[in-house]
Structure 1
């Protein structure tokens, strides 16, 4: 009887040990799958981010060109107009219009993370918070102001340049352009440029802030992947 009980106890322990080992293996497999899933998601996100960082740098360069041209036109004196030719003026106007360039971030991977409830696989809390701040707040604020300034460039300033100088961004020749001295000397051109100058500076700061945040997030992803 004792031998039977002993044998039964051993068999029970063996079964219990087998279940424990099986659960342990399953847990490790689950952890491994989660880690692989997180790594894959972060890799995809980093590719998207790096593309947006490069894109943001291009947009920042264009806005810089615009701001430099705006400053030249704002400080342009009436006496300098006689020395200005149509080609140089067209170049200044084209450079000013670069300020309407917009940043269109790639939301695909982030939206997939959110819609598929995959954010839970990202264990780094700081990274998660930075992602939410970047995509749900910084990008959203930028997207709210971007149509306003684009409208100012394309319609308000664009119409002014067409009506007073015969300039359009699509033209390949300056044959139909006129150098409207009154627009310079009476300050109407300066007034139109000033309308967009302040907003353009705000947009530059916003895009630069977005780029810095993207660099931070990309660095955190590097730490996670390595």
Structure 2
């Protein structure tokens, strides 16, 4: 092809057809420029395709992490609601009412639900932290997804963890030792529970109500924080799934 063009140029020069040669030269330059532009567009298209593939891989990893968090949030919120309801039952009842209407086994299960308010949610920061540290978050084209990820992991999760830390200390250092010391209630490593003694339960009931009151506000705040996280996690899952279909 190059030889063909060279022959045309030589023929025009030999025939002293300068104007036609000039016109031909301009045309040849235009063809070269068009060729370069096409090559750049192809290269740009290939790069965009590669970046989209990497972005989709990033979304896939995020979805796996977020879906696990979503399932865990359902479990922990359910446990904490049971704890809150059990706390309210003890706060709003008398020892006599509870002992008249329930067996020792049932009361032990009620206390077990209170005890389980100690359970915490641990967000999976690994994928997000890896994206941030490796600037992988810049590969995400959706500004909404980036904004929601940052809000989730840099604000909502740390905010919940602050509340959870106070809640955990109140349960671990005060409520659970009280249940063991005054009521004789224990939970084994196999999640078997001690059946309470009705007399010990009645004697310690006033203090038990006070202890439930102390953790009640913290448990409520913990659930509020978890539901905010759950809402954002589920929203992100929908946003990412929608973005992957484009």
Q: Give the TM-score taking structure 1 as reference length.
A: 0.91
Match of 2:74 among 40, 57, 76: 57
Residues 131, 217 of structure 1: 8 Å contact kept: yes
Partner of 1:223: 242
User: 1: distance between equivalents of 2:183 and 2:73?
Assistant: 32
Residues 86, 113 of structure 2: 8 Å contact kept: yes
CA positional deviation for 1:197: 0.6
Partner of 1:158: 176
User: 2: distance between equivalents of 1:105 and 1:115?
Assistant: 18
CA positional deviation for 1:128: 1.3
Over the aligned positions, Cα root-mean-square deviation in angstroms equals 1.9
User: 2: distance between equivalents of 1:111 and 1:13?
Assistant: 49
1:112-151 Cα deviation digits (max 9, x unpaired):
2211112222222122111111111001111122122112
Alignment of 1:112-127 (within 5 A): 112-127=130-145
Residues 86, 174 of structure 1: 8 Å contact kept: no
Residues 63, 98 of structure 1: 8 Å contact kept: yes
**Which blocks of at least 5 consecutive residues in structure 2 are unaligned?**
1-12
Larger radius of gyration: 2
Question: CA 1:156/1:136 → structure 2, altered by over 3 Å: closer, same or farther?
Answer: same
User: 1: distance between equivalents of 2:26 and 2:226?
Assistant: 70
CA positional deviation for 1:5: 3.8
Q: Give the TM-score taking structure 2 as reference length.
A: 0.84
Question: CA 1:128/1:172 → structure 2, altered by over 3 Å: closer, same or farther?
Answer: closer
1:205 and 2:228 are equivalent in the alignment: no
Residues 53, 211 of structure 1: 8 Å contact kept: yes
Partner of 2:58: 41
**Which blocks of at least 5 consecutive residues in structure 1 are unaligned?**
none
Residues 73, 121 of structure 2: 8 Å contact kept: yes
1:74 and 2:91 are equivalent in the alignment: yes
Match of 1:30 among 38, 43, 47: 47
For the residue of structure 2 that corresponds to 1:76, the secondary structure is: coil
Question: CA 1:109/1:78 → structure 2, altered by over 3 Å: closer, same or farther?
Answer: closer
For the residue of structure 1 that corresponds to 2:187, the secondary structure is: coil
CA positional deviation for 1:17: 2.1
CA positional deviation for 1:78: 3.7
Aligned length: 223
